[in-house]
Amino acid sequence: MIPQPFDYYAPATLREALAMIASGEHKILAGGMSLVPLMKLRLALPEHVVDLGRIPELNYIAESGGVLRIGAMSTHHDIESSAAVRAHCPLLAEAAGHIGDAQVRNMGTIGGSIAHADPSADYPAALLALETKIRIVSANSDRTIDAAEFFVDAFTTALEPGEIVLELQAPVEDQGEGYCYEKVPHPASGFAVVGVAVRVKKAGGKIAMARIGITGMGPRPFRDSMAEKMLESGTEIGQATQSIGQGEEANSDLYASGDYRRHLARVHAARALRTALTRAS
Amino acid sequence: MKRTISLTINGKTYTDEVEPRLLLIHYLREVAGLTGPHIGCETSICGACTVLVGGKTVKSCTMFAVQADGRELTTIEGVAAADGKLDPVQEAFWNEHGLQCGFCTPGMVLSVKHLLAANPNPTDQEIRHGLDGNLCRCTGYQHIVNAVKAAAAGKGGV
């Protein structure tokens, strides 16, 4: 038993859940893979916990009109093993397979992960490279924003009190696109010291389109549009990746300094791009 | 505020009043009396507390008992047949020396069952990836990998 008592609610519908959390005083429990450890450490001491685990309408993966829609309560395992994700956004399936371990992937959810916004989480790199949109709802609002606007800072998102992540909307990757998620895992925790997600399209032997999302390096994930433009205008990979992370804040800790993280981002972006190109047709 | 939960563990229904802050591992060990799932690190790293919930492995130290309300669970106590005949995975761990002290084994066996259910013929790399969430401090893992391969081979055609 953990020390802090709390009230537990398990609504059966989204409407019920949104009404419960409208006051903004409730902590939302999705898969619990971040929240439960934080509660055990007393870093989170919520008095009211609303469990979204019994709302079937939040758990789906479906493609329609060129957009892959993923319900917030889809687990990492659902995403990693979903035929629809593997066919339409294989980059996301690849990133999901790198999260934690099998038990964590069975419980942890994509909505919970992004709402927690751990700067070392794997998904954000892929979501940025995929130009994903995130639909956010509350009892009286419904808005859809770009992933780039969603991640504000370490453990800080654009979510307002009373709001939850409802759905992720990723444009379907074109046939023939190459993709790759490259990660430097922390040897103890498995979290991304740096993670790089890339997508490329080839045309006439050149890179016609490049998308690069980076997680772990700084307090928030980012897309490197300068490197993307350099690649699209014919700069070779080694040179184009040299500027990655320039001007972006980088985290330092006992394991890796900010400069080393920036270096890793550049090296692994180049590797990811080369792998992605071999997968592109 | 206590809540009444009702869940099925190893085919048997349990109904109990629990506080929401009770972790599933503590419910299993102290309320249901099933001490097969072990408490190793209690920080969702070591996997000794692994059980199946709805057929999928979870770390029962990182889940509240109330979250398991209405679900079907399997602990190591429910793996062997009622007459005591070991499951092929348990048999393979025995034959291949897949354990020494045995503390991690209840979690390992359930993770292997989950792995083989999804992938009946895993490669060495897939086995190691599938068991990433279960730590063993005795075997150096090689005998565990051997045991998984033996269990997979024995299951051929099933």
Is B74 a residue whose pLDDT tops 90? yes
The 10s digit of each residue's pLDDT in B18-55 is 999 999 999 999 999 999 999 999 999 999 999 999 99
Q: Are strands B3-9 and B72-74 parallel, antiparallel or unpaired?
A: parallel
The verdict on a CB contact (< 8 Å) between A102 and B132 is yes
Fold agreement (B3-78, B88-154): no
- Cβ of A102 within 8 Å of Cβ of B114? The answer is yes
Chain B residue nearest residue A81, CA to CA: B118
Strands B3-9 and A7-9: unpaired
| A48-103 residue pLDDT tens | 999 999 999 999 999 999 999 999 999 999 999 999 999 999 999 999 999 999 99
pLDDT in tens, A198-253: 999 999 889 999 999 999 999 999 999 999 999 999 999 999 999 999 999 999 99
**Number of cross-chain residue pairs from A and B with Cβ atoms under 8 Å apart:** 76
Which residue has tokens 């490049």? Answer: A210
On the question of pLDDT at B156 being above 50, the answer is no
The mean per-residue pLDDT over the stretch A183-203 comes to 95
B62:A32 CB<8 A: yes
Residues of B within 8 A of A103 (CB-CB) are 44, 47, 50, 57-59, 111, 133
Q: What confidence tier does B65 reach under pLDDT thresholds 50, 70, 90?
A: very high
Chain A residues whose CB is inside 8 A of the B148 CB are none
Cα gap B110→B58, rounded to integer Å: 10
What's the confidence (pLDDT) of residue A29? 98
- Cβ-defined contact of A106 to B56 (cutoff 8 Å): yes
pLDDT of residue B22: 98
Task: Supply the CATH classification number for the domain A179-279.
Answer: 3.30.390.50
Query: Between 1.10.150.120, 2.70.210.12, 3.40.470.10, 3.40.50.150, what CATH number should domain B88-154 receive?
Result: 1.10.150.120
| Min Cα separation B94/chain A (Å) | 24
Which residue bears the tokens 């925790």?
A189
Enter the CATH code of domain A58-171.
3.30.465.10
Task: Give the pLDDT band (50/70/90) at residue B154.
Answer: confident
Position A205 scores a pLDDT of 84
Nearest Cα of chain A lies from the Cα of B20 at a distance, in angstroms, of 6
What are the structure tokens assigned to B64, written together?
A: 């509240």
Beta bridge partners of A222: A214
* Residue at A9: amino acid letter: Y
pLDDT of residue B158: 36
Q: What is the pTM of this model?
A: 0.95
Chain B residues lying within 8 Å of A190, measured CB to CB: 132
Fold category of B3-78 in CATH: Ubiquitin-like (UB roll) (3.10.20)
Which residue in chain A has the smallest CA separation from B115? A102
Its ipTM equals: 0.94
Q: Where are the domains of chain B?
A: 3-78, 88-154
Task: Give A95-115 pLDDT, tens digit per residue.
Answer: 999 999 999 999 999 999 999
Q: What percentage of chain A has pLDDT greater than the value 70?
A: 100
Q: What would the mean pLDDT of A7-30 be, rounded to a whole number?
A: 96
User: What mean pLDDT do residues A245-265 have?
Assistant: 96
- Token pair of B20, please? 């929401």
Q: Which residue of B has its CA nearest to A48?
A: B20
- Strand pairing category for B12-18 and B3-9: antiparallel
Residue A103 corresponds to which tokens in the numbers above?
A: 């038990």
